[in-house]
Amino acid sequence: MEREKVIEVKNLMASFDGLRVLTDVSFTAYQGEVTVILGSSGCGKSTVLKHLLGLYPINMGYAQVLGQDITALTEKEQKELYLKMGVFYQNGALLNSMTVGENVALPLKQHSLLPDTLITEIVYMKLGLVNMQDAFHMYPSQLSGGMLKRAALARAIVMDPPILFCDEPGAGLDPISLQSLDELIVNLKEQLGMSVILVTHEVSSIMRVANRIVYLEQGRVAFEGSLKQALSSEISSVKQFFSVLYEGDDLRK
């Protein structure tokens, strides 16, 4: 049975101030999988993500998200699509003037007509999914780095998006907190049936969460395939990337 595509990018190109950042980028992400976009710093992975999120316009190439060509949508259609896309930023992007509960509730307050009592129930439920229900009345300044990430993740999934975009979610976390966050993302994917697009350079995270790898090198796709295929790749840049932290280990098992 053919897998359902949630993202399809073809021949995406991007330049800023006359400098080519992306060159003919093409890849596919599938429903129910964690697709990791990776590569060395400056390779263009965050730029790809920003195009998919509509933060940068697509001037050359094609991108389809959840079956819709994002270059051909009306303003209303764009808004409807973006409400189906959860976004988890590396800095959490929580508002310090609001409690954790108020932060998580914000998308529902802005984009739904649900009564406050139901919104509160949903927020408690989402915080429960990330083991943060006791932080409902706390402020971001009272949270540790790992707790901030989990609260931000609860907000990203509060609208039950079919697709979740994560931009360097583990940045700044210690190894134990990073592993906990990775496990949480995988559990949420399985419980909620989400597809996840994750930008990272953390090899340990990739090993724990990835189903599919898109490896960028100098603005081009150097490799696309399963994690197992990536670990067995003879492409020098891909091989070197995975060998940095696992030198001497047999990753192909």
d(Cα 123, Cα 133) in Å, to the nearest integer? Answer: 9
Full pLDDT tens readout for the chain, 253 residues? 678 999 999 999 998 888 888 999 999 999 999 999 998 777 788 899 999 998 898 989 999 999 999 988 888 998 899 999 999 987 767 899 999 999 999 999 999 999 999 999 999 999 999 999 999 999 999 999 889 999 999 999 999 999 999 988 888 888 998 999 999 999 999 999 999 999 988 888 999 999 999 999 988 999 999 999 999 999 999 998 888 655 544 444 4
d(Cα 5, Cα 2) in Å, to the nearest integer? Answer: 9
d(Cα 108, Cα 214) in Å, to the nearest integer? Answer: 33
Q: What pLDDT does 1 receive?
A: 66
Q: Write out pLDDT tens, residues 168-192.
A: 888 888 899 899 999 999 999 999 9
Q: Which domains does the chain have, with CATH numbers?
A: 1-84+161-173+195-247 (3.40.50.300), 92-160 (no CATH)
Q: What pLDDT does 125 receive?
A: 95
| pTM value surpassing 0.85 | yes
- How many CA atoms lie within 13 Å of 29's alpha carbon, on the beta-carbon side? 30
Q: Which residues of 141-164 are buried (b: 16+ CB within 10 A; e: fewer)?
A: eebeebbbbbbbbbbbbbbebebb
